[in-house]
Amino acid sequence: MNSAAGIPQPEAMSFDLSGKHAVVIGGGSGIGKSIAEGLGKAGARLTLAGRRRDVLEGAAVAFSKAGIAAGVDAVDANDTTQLAAFAARAQKTAPVDILVNAQGVMTLKPAEEFTPDDFDRIMTTNTKSVFFACQEFGKLMLARGRGSIVNIASLASFRGFARNAVYTISKHGVVALTETLASEWAARGVRVNAIAPGFFVTDLNRTTLVDERRNKAESRTPMGRLGETSELAGAAVFLSSPAASYVTGATIPVDGGFLAAGM
């Protein structure tokens, strides 16, 4: 670091995460698992968090076979008491340098059919838990004067999607939260960014994404295909690394050109 100007020197502009401790909430499966793997391959030490210990342990075993160290912590991120205790445990293991919020749920139905319970469940997981995870880990990062938070937004953070009203509200909130925290915490050394995935193949939809839905998604994506979750890892590594030292408040679409295509 150039002490006079506070500008990282070229040798610091790297994607190397060696020595960094990355916490990935939702890191046992899907998008979170692929991002965690990418961070681990870049050198980060991982803590995988989520509700299901068996899923987390399965991911950790798979990572260990690839030479990636990963601890697990079963926690319900919707429970703010559990979340605070988890942050304290993770910090005790090693100071947390990177937080990825990859937790999320979705329910598809016409807007007039959503119930208050539907609304509360989706908003609690997709927005409330992300806010309080940022708050708990952000306080630890602010105390050290450094850290990187990566939230998982969505194409639904920028567009309206039929039969997806509450999810769309929740993901607009993730971008708003990301930009607000970035503006508050930038001068104190903590960067906050987001990734907006397009249409991706996951373990959950690989066999259930029927031809009509898949064809519609592919036809609206300029690259003409769905993404693989491994294609999200590069953006997460970049945003977490010294190479992104001047990047905060950004939401990076990884969508095959969907948003760029417009109408």
DSSP for 91-155?
HHHS---EEEE---------GGG--HHHHHHHHIIIIIHHHHHHHHHHHHHHHHT-EEEEEE--G
Pair 263, 222: CB distance under 8 Å: no
Q: Assess whether 167 carries a catalytic annotation.
A: yes
63, 131, 137, 167: which one is catalytic? Answer: 167
Give me 113's structure tokens.
């059919």
Nearest-angstrom CA–CA distance, 96 and 20: 7
Name residues whose C-beta falls within 8 Å of residue 206's C-beta, 6 or more positions apart in sequence: none
Among residues 175, 161, 156, the alpha carbon closest in space to that of 111 is found at: 161
Among residues 33, 16, 20, the alpha carbon closest in space to that of 72 is found at: 33
Give me 121's structure tokens.
């469940």
Nearest-angstrom CA–CA distance, 36 and 47: 9
Active site residues: 167
